[in-house]
């Protein structure tokens, strides 16, 4: 593993950002729109103004909470072979983006409203691609609006075996979803031990936690289901235009959420994660693949690792727009920065157009980019074997290293990245092999996976139970 | 087929020349091509069988895997090396049994050009395919090529060139071969990054290959 991570910020910078975050929490506070949550925080030592719903967190409360938290995050798959563990010092994991509403048709390339059959297709690809470790939601349009989240969860539970990071529309919906998780896992204890779904709630920047999201946070915490807090301050509109100020505020929003979660349910796993976007100042849109995003990815990773000791998540695979060559550059740039920054979870594989759309072709290409990033994050190992003095001596002047056992052994260990989608052949060979573009090669690989990859079905009784829960949800919520 | 021949083939595939080979952890210390071939000889097995059903059968698999993009050049070369270890042991018996000797190839980089990585790779692959390769080296003059053809009587002459400024040297050599009336005795293959099939045809070469693996196939075709 790579040792000296990219250090964008100095130790002093990190400390200043942390202190600024504490100061925001202590002096400005957060709007916590939840009576019970405010009560709990007040009891834990926070200064609460119930009328204005403002909670001010004393630094000691935040620091004390951080001290007692577990530093490892488990993204459990259906079976342990699909587990992804986030831990500092270990290689990073990757998940797809959540929340997109459009899908790029694999065959026609059309950009259209996502359907549940798209999610099935996407799930199969996720299950097959080795560098993708967890999957996010796709909001489909051809199912009942009020229970689309529940339908999507059913699809992801059935059609693929990796960890699912999923948001519920309301705490009511979350109740059904937890029933579904229990149907797959069997018991509450087993679910807690191996949470196959992580939930997601949102903080609305600046500094506002809505009631239903807090309900969801507390409910998930009761079951020990890890909860990602989506904190997306848009630089220049929902947070200061300065990146330092955005880091301080986003970090404050996260620390506040973490504190609430721990006060409500001690031990509730919350990943170190916030994902500032950048305001497009001609339209107000949120951008995620700008150079500022890349720096934020690295800075957040550094804060997580160096300052708090948490394995940091980040949006290293985000991109804006739907032009392939552009998204590729943005993903590569953000990804490298997050990966060198020591990020533990790279988020947004498969996403394009500022996470408005999911593209199966992009997912296949991202799998390849992630492969390259894994090679980079393994770094350059220096020891007797890798210095290879004996081999250099054996080969001698004018010799060749090609036919050395040392070469073969290291080749097999993956010392040299070997592309599947990128074509590094010289032009002539590329032409004789069909002169295929990157997108075409990725499409062919996706088609091949869809044709040949099989996902074991869940046991019949579980499938039946899932269907019954979804039906019950439709009967009551639609 | 006997287990022993299968084991020889498998060890060629794995590139395990002998029992010290570090390549396959699970097979550490197990006999490699050397030990297995010695045993086959001792057991009095048919030489042709050892070669065709053991050594070459293994190399066949390696070639197919390489063409399917399943393995890499170093793995092919190391298998070829293992095969060579077996062949070396069989050599005295091949002469005794009157089996056909292998074909000769003379190869070199033309005058003015010092690039030899590609040419060396072609040589190694040809050796792996059991050709006897006489590698003249780099910056080779037309006279040296001609002398070597006369002396070694190769079936194939390979010319490598990576510099556009030296490419005309290939034509000079081909013309000289014709002038010396050697063109029926030796077929000429050309290659190197700037060389194309079109260029090869224009200067009157018999064959061209864009890489070392194709080169082996083309040489085999030309010899037929
Ligand atoms: C490595 C290299 C060098 C090394 C060579 C080391 C060595 N021991 O060979 C060094 C640094 C010494 C070198 C020097 C020079 N180089 Co140089 N070099 C290269 C480079 C980067 C790679 C060549 C290589 O080894 N490729 C890998 C091998 C495996 O591929 P290959 O040679 O093409 O061989 C394959 C096939 O062509 C085929 N093949 C090859 N030979 C044969 C023969 C037969 C019979 C058959 C069938 C097939 C076949 O099979 C091979 C295996 O698959 C190329 C650029 C490039 N991308 O090709 C420049 C390149 C060839 N070099 C170039 C130049 C200009 C030079 C120098 C003049 C630089 C300088 N100003 O000093 C000198 C020339 C020295 C000289 N007099 O020859 C130019 C040539 C441009 C031109 N118009 O001709 C190139 C294209 C780089 C560039 N873009 O400028 N070079």
What pLDDT sits at residue B98? 63
Q: In whole angstroms, give the CA distance from residue A326 to residue A354.
A: 12
pLDDT of amino acid A398:
87
Asked if the C-beta of B28 comes within 8 angstroms of chain A's C-beta atoms, the answer is no
Q: Does residue B48 carry a pLDDT above 90?
A: no
pLDDT at A167: 92
Give residue-wise pLDDT tens across range A323-344: 888 999 999 999 999 999 989 9
At residue A442, the pLDDT reads 96
B75 touches chain A (CB under 8 A): yes
Given the DSSP bridges, would you call strands B207-208 and A286-287 parallel, antiparallel or unpaired? Answer: unpaired
pLDDT at position B210: 87
CA distance A332 to chain B (A): 26
- What are the pLDDT digits (tens) for A375-434? 998 889 999 999 999 999 999 998 889 989 999 999 999 999 999 999 998 888 899 889
Q: At B212, is the pLDDT very low, low, confident or very high (cuts 50, 70, 90)? A: confident
Structure-token match 């030309």, residue found? B222
Q: How far is the CA of A376 from the centre of ligand 1 (A)?
A: 28
What pLDDT score does A262 carry? 97
Sign of CA dihedral A28, A30, A31, A36: negative
The mean pLDDT value of chain B amounts to 92
**Ligand 1 within 6 A of CB of B16:** no
Q: What is the Cα–Cα distance from A68 to A71, expressed in whole angstroms? A: 9
- Per-residue pLDDT at A361 exceeds 90: yes
Domain boundaries, chain A: 67-378
Angle subtended by helix axes A35-44 and A243-264, to nearest 10: 90
Asked if B121 is an interface residue toward chain A (Cβ–Cβ < 8 A), one would say: yes
Residue A386: count of CB within 10 angstroms of its CB = 11
Q: So what's the pLDDT on residue A48?
A: 98
Helix or strand (DSSP H, E) at B129: none
Q: Is residue B219 very low, low, confident or very high in pLDDT (cuts 50, 70, 90)?
A: very high
Q: What class does CATH assign to B104-223?
A: alpha beta
Nearest CB partner across the interface for A402, out of B22, B74, B196: B74
* pLDDT (0 to 100) of residue A132: 98
Cβ(A380)–Cβ(A3) below 8 Å: no
Question: Quick check: B148 pLDDT over 70?
Answer: yes
**Is B1's pLDDT higher than 80?**
no
**Which of A139-143, A271-275, B97-101 is the least confident region?**
B97-101
Place of tokens 């590094």: A424
Q: What is the pLDDT of residue A3?
A: 57
Test site for ligand 1: of B118, B209, B219, most ligand atoms within 8 A of the Cβ? B118
- Enumerate residues 6+ apart whose C-beta is below 8 A from B31: B7, B11, B18, B19, B39
CA A102 – CA A82 distance, rounded (Å) = 27
Read off the pLDDT band of B101 (50, 70, 90): low
Judged against a pLDDT cut of 90, whether residue B92 lies above it is answered with no
| pLDDT at residue A231, rounded to an integer | 96
In CATH, the architecture of A67-378 is Alpha-Beta Barrel (3.20)
Which pLDDT score, from 0 to 100, does residue A325 have? 83
- pLDDT at residue A4 greater than cutoff 60: no
Model pLDDT for residues A221-235, shown as the tens digit of each residue: 999 999 999 999 999
Distance CA B74, CA A403 (A): 5
Look at A428 and B210 and tell me if their CB atoms are within 8 Å: yes
Write the CATH number of the domain with boundaries B3-97.
1.10.1240.10
At A20 the pLDDT is: 98
pLDDT category at B99 given cuts 50, 70, 90 is: low
- Work out the average pLDDT over B112-121: 90
- Taking residue B45's Cβ as centre, other Cβ atoms within 10 Å add up to 18
Cβ contact B22–A402 (<8 Å) = no
Give me the DSSP letters along A130-188. Answer: TT--EEE-B--SSS-GGGHHHHHHHHHHHH--SEEEEE-SSHHHHHHHHHHHHHHH-SH
pLDDT of residue A428: 82
pLDDT in tens, A64-78: 999 989 889 999 999
Tell if the CB–CB gap between B124 and A403 is shorter than 8 Å. Answer: yes
Average predicted confidence (pLDDT) for chain A: 95
Half-sphere exposure of A371 (CA within 13 A, CB side): 17
Q: How far apart are alpha carbons A400 and A40 in whole angstroms?
A: 70
* Cβ within 8 Å of A, B 131-190: none
**Residue A79 CB neighbour total at 10 angstroms:** 12
Q: What is the pLDDT of residue B94?
A: 75
Element (H, E) at A118: helix A116-128
Question: Is A392 or B214 the better-scoring residue by pLDDT?
Answer: A392
Residues of B in contact with A423 (CB under 8 A): none
Closest Cβ–Cβ partner in B21, B74, B117 for A403: B74
Rounded to an integer, what distance in angstroms lies between the CA atom of residue B108 and that of residue B137?
Answer: 5
Q: What is the rounded (10 degree) CA torsion for A245, A247, A253, A258?
A: -150
Is the shortest distance between the CB of B108 and ligand 1 below 6 Å? no
Cβ–Cβ under 8 Å, residues B122 and B215? yes
Pocket perturbation via mutation, ligand 1, pick of B115, B119, B134 by most ligand atoms within 8 A of CB: B115
Which percentage of chain A shows pLDDT scores above 70?
Answer: 99
B172 has a pLDDT exceeding 70: yes
Q: Chain A: nearest CA to B38, how far in angstroms?
A: 22
List pLDDT tens digits, range A153-196.
Answer: 999 999 999 999 999 999 999 999 999 999 999 999 999 999 99
For residue B115, how far is its CA from the centre of ligand 1 (angstroms)? 5
Q: Does B21 touch chain A (CB under 8 A)?
A: yes
Q: Nearest by CB to B78, which of A408, A418, A426?
A: A408
Q: Where are the domains of chain B?
A: 3-97, 104-223
Write down the pTM of the prediction: 0.86
Give mean pLDDT, residues A260-268: 97
Six token digits for residue B85: 């270890």
pLDDT (0 to 100) of residue B100? 65
Is the pLDDT assigned to residue A136 strictly greater than 90? Answer: yes
Q: For the residues A353-357, what does the mean pLDDT come to?
A: 93
Q: Give the CB-side neighbour count of residue B137, counting CA atoms within 13 A.
A: 7
Would an 8 Å CB–CB cutoff place B122 in contact with chain A?
no
> What is the per-residue pLDDT for A2?
53
Of B126, B129, B133, B139, the closest CA to residue B152 belongs to: B133
Extended strands (E) in A35-140: 47-49, 54-56, 73-75, 84-86, 93-96, 102-104, 111-113, 134-136
Peptide linkage before A206 cis (omega within 30 of 0): yes
Q: Structure tokens of B163?
A: 């510099």
The whole-number average pLDDT for the span A116-136 is 98
Domain B3-97 and domain B104-223, same fold? Reply is: no
């Amino acid at each position: 593993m790579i040792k000296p991570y990219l250090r964008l910020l100095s130790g002093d910078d990190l400390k200043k950002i942390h202190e600024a975050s504490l100061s925001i929490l202590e002096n400005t506070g957060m709007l916590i729109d939840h009576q019970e949550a405010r009560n709990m925080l007040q009891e834990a030592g926070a200064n609460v103004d119930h009328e204005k719903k403002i909670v001010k967190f004393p630094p000691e409360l935040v620091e004390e909470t951080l001290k007692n938290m577990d530093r490892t995050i488990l993204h459990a798959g259906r079976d342990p072979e699909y587990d992804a563990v986030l831990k500092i010092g270990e290689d990073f994991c990757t998940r797809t983006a959540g929340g997109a509403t459009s899908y790029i048709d694999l065959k026609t390339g059309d950009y259209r409203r996502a359907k549940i059959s798209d999610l099935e297709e996407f799930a199969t690809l996720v299950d097959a691609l080795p560098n993708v470790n967890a999957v996010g939601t796709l909001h489909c349009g051809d199912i009942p609006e009020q229970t689309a989240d529940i339908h999507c969860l059913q699809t992801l539970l059935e059609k693929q075996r990796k960890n699912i990071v999923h948001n519920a529309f309301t705490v009511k919906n979350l109740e059904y979803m937890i029933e579904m998780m229990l149907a797959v896992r069997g018991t509450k204890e087993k679910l807690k031990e191996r949470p196959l779904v992580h939930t997601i709630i949102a903080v609305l920047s600046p500094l506002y936690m809505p009631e239903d999201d807090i309900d969801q946070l507390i409910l998930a915490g009761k079951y020990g289901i890890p909860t990602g807090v989506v904190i997306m301050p848009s630089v220049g509109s929902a947070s200061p235009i300065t990146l330092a100020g955005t880091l301080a505020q986003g970090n404050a929003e996260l620390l506040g959420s973490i504190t609430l979660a721990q006060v409500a349910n001690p031990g509730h796993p919350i990943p170190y994660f916030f994902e500032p976007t950048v305001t497009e100042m001609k339209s107000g849109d949120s951008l995620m693949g700008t150079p500022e995003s890349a720096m934020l990815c690295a800075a957040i990773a550094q804060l997580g690792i160096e300052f708090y000791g948490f394995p940091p998540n980040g949006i290293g695979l985000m991109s804006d727009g739907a032009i392939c060559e552009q998204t590729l550059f943005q993903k590569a740039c953000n990804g490298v920065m997050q990966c060198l920054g020591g990020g533990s979870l790279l988020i947004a594989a498969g996403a394009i157009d500022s996470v408005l759309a999911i593209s199966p072709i992009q997912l296949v290409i991202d799998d390849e980019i992630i492969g390259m990033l894994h090679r980079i994050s393994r770094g350059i190992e220096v020891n007797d074997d890798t210095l290879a003095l004996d081999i250099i001596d054996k080969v001698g002047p004018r010799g060749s290293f090609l036919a050395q056992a040392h070469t073969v052994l290291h080749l097999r260990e993956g010392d040299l990245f070997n592309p599947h989608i990128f074509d590094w052949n010289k032009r002539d060979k590329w032409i004789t092999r069909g002169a295929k573009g990157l997108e075409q090669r990725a499409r062919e690989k996706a088609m091949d996976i869809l044709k040949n990859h099989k996902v074991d079905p869940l046991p019949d009784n579980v499938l039946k139970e899932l269907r019954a829960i979804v039906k019950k949800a439709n009967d009551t919520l639609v | 087929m006997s287990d022993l021949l299968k084991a020889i083939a498998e060890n060629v595939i794995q590139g395990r020349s002998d029992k010290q080979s570090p390549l396959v952890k699970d097979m550490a210390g197990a006999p490699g091509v050397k030990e297995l071939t010695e045993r086959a000889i001792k057991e009095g097995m048919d030489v042709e069988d050892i070669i065709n059903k053991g050594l070459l059968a293994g190399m066949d698999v390696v070639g197919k895997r390489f063409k399917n993009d399943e393995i890499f050049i170093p793995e092919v070369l190391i298998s070829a090396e293992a095969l060579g270890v077996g062949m070396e042991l069989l050599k005295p018996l091949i002469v005794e049994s009157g089996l056909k000797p292998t074909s000769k190839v003379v190869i070199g980089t033309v005058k003015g050009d010092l690039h030899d990585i590609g040419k060396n790779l072609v040589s190694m692959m040809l050796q792996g395919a059991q050709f006897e390769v006489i590698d003249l080296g780099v910056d080779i003059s037309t006279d040296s090529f001609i002398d070597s053809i006369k002396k070694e009587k190769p079936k194939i002459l390979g010319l490598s060139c990576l510099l556009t400024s030296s490419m005309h040297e290939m034509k000079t050599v081909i013309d000289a071969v014709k002038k010396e009336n050697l063109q029926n005795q030796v077929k000429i293959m050309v290659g190197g990054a700037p060389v194309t099939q079109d260029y090869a045809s224009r200067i009157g070469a018999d064959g061209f290959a864009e890489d070392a693996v194709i080169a082996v196939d083309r040489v085999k075709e030309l010899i037929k």
